[in-house]
Amino acid sequence: MSILGISPAIMNGACSVAKTPEDVAALAATGVGAVLVGSITLAAREGNPEPRWYPGSDFSLNSFGMPNGGAEYYKKELPGMIKTVHENHKKFVLSVAGFNASEYGDLAQLADEAGVDMIELNLGCPNISVDGKQKPIASFDTDYIREILTRVNEKTSLPLLIKLSPYSNPAELKKVADLLASFPSVKAVVTSNTFPNSYVSNEGEPVLANVYGGMSGRGLQPIALGQVKQFRDALPAAIAVIGVGGIETKDDAAQFTNAGAEVVQAATLIVRDGHASIGALV
């Protein structure tokens, strides 16, 4: 049984090349079943300083910092983006990231008023600094997750996808799964975001200007698969699991489906190889 109605069950993940009308047009021209834009924030962001992307042999690091045009830009551009996606008979998902629960609510209201099909709440970005210090990652604070969901549900009744960081503690994963299951608006868990605070150096110098970055790509795949399987076992059948993490081929996608994912996302693949590369998964 399909919970999300995304067919084919392939979509892009939130990333640096899923932000503009041009990105949307390129993704809508592929065979995916849904196009995701974001993550977006209330205020426009330039993101972190360059270099902020490092492609390794079987992984990548990024510290993009969610560059995007902000709420005013997307109020203007979202209607056209949604029209493009719907004309290509695909679902439209908007990924949002607030700096507090109120901002998540405001962004959810923006999404609702624009007419998106689903909202992804990005609770796992590790690459944001506030006053020079790394912003705490919402995925690891259940009280904060509850506050965010409560505020978002005051603003919209749209289906919610919850994007989370990978959990090394299975008890913590189960606690989060139980919390999400208590909110009927939650229709899917997206697992997993990049692995936080990863580091690579070149002759002793960090390869990223921000020093630390989120790890993604094929090297993350066994961890991502483990997250999918654990969440599938922990969640009720009415909540889908969306798998993401190192998916580059149909065989990779099948691994995630076999582990319990209803839908799979690809992000590193299209950042590295371009939007059309996601067509290899369909």
* pLDDT tens string 23-71: 999 999 999 999 999 999 999 999 999 999 999 999 999 999 999 999 9
Q: How confident is the model at residue 1 (pLDDT cuts 50, 70, 90)?
A: confident
Per the CB < 8 A criterion, the answer to whether 10 and 263 are in contact is yes
Identify the pLDDT of residue 127.
79
Identify the pLDDT of residue 95.
98
| Percent of residues, the chain, with pLDDT higher than 90 | 95
Q: How confident is the model at residue 128 (pLDDT cuts 50, 70, 90)?
A: confident
Tell me the pairing of strands 60-62 and 53-55.
antiparallel
Q: How confident is the model at residue 135 (pLDDT cuts 50, 70, 90)?
A: confident
> Domain coordinates of the chain in residue numbers?
10-43+62-195+216-281
- Quick one: tokens of 55? 């492609």
Identify the pLDDT of residue 35.
99
Distance of CA 189 to the CA centre of its chain: 10
- Quick one: tokens of 13? 């993940």
CATH superfamily of 10-43+62-195+216-281: Aldolase class I (3.20.20.70)
Hey, which residues are catalytic here?
125
**Nearest CA-CA partner of 224 in 93, 137, 149, 124:** 124
Identify the pLDDT of residue 84.
98
Selected residue with higher pLDDT from 239 and 127: 239
Determine the Cα–Cα distance for residues 252 and 247; give it in Å rounded to an integer: 5
What does the pLDDT look like over 188-228, one tens digit per residue?
Answer: 999 999 999 999 999 999 999 999 999 999 999 999 999 99
Determine the Cα–Cα distance for residues 11 and 13; give it in Å rounded to an integer: 7
Identify the pLDDT of residue 133.
75
Name the DSSP letter for residue 36. E
Determine the Cα–Cα distance for residues 114 and 81; give it in Å rounded to an integer: 10
What does the pLDDT look like over 144-193, one tens digit per residue?
Answer: 999 999 999 999 999 999 999 999 999 999 999 999 999 999 999 999 99
Report the amino acid identity of residue 93. Answer: V
Give 112: exposed, middle or buried? Use CB within 10 Å, 0-12, 13-18, 19+: middle
Per the CB < 8 A criterion, the answer to whether 213 and 268 are in contact is no
Please state the pTM of the whole predicted model. 0.97
Give 221: exposed, middle or buried? Use CB within 10 Å, 0-12, 13-18, 19+: buried
User: Could you tell me the sign of the dihedral formed by the alpha carbons of 55, 61, 67, 71, in that order?
Assistant: positive
Cis peptide before 222 (omega within 30 of 0): no
Determine the Cα–Cα distance for residues 185 and 154; give it in Å rounded to an integer: 11
**What's the rounded mean pLDDT across residues 72-101?**
98
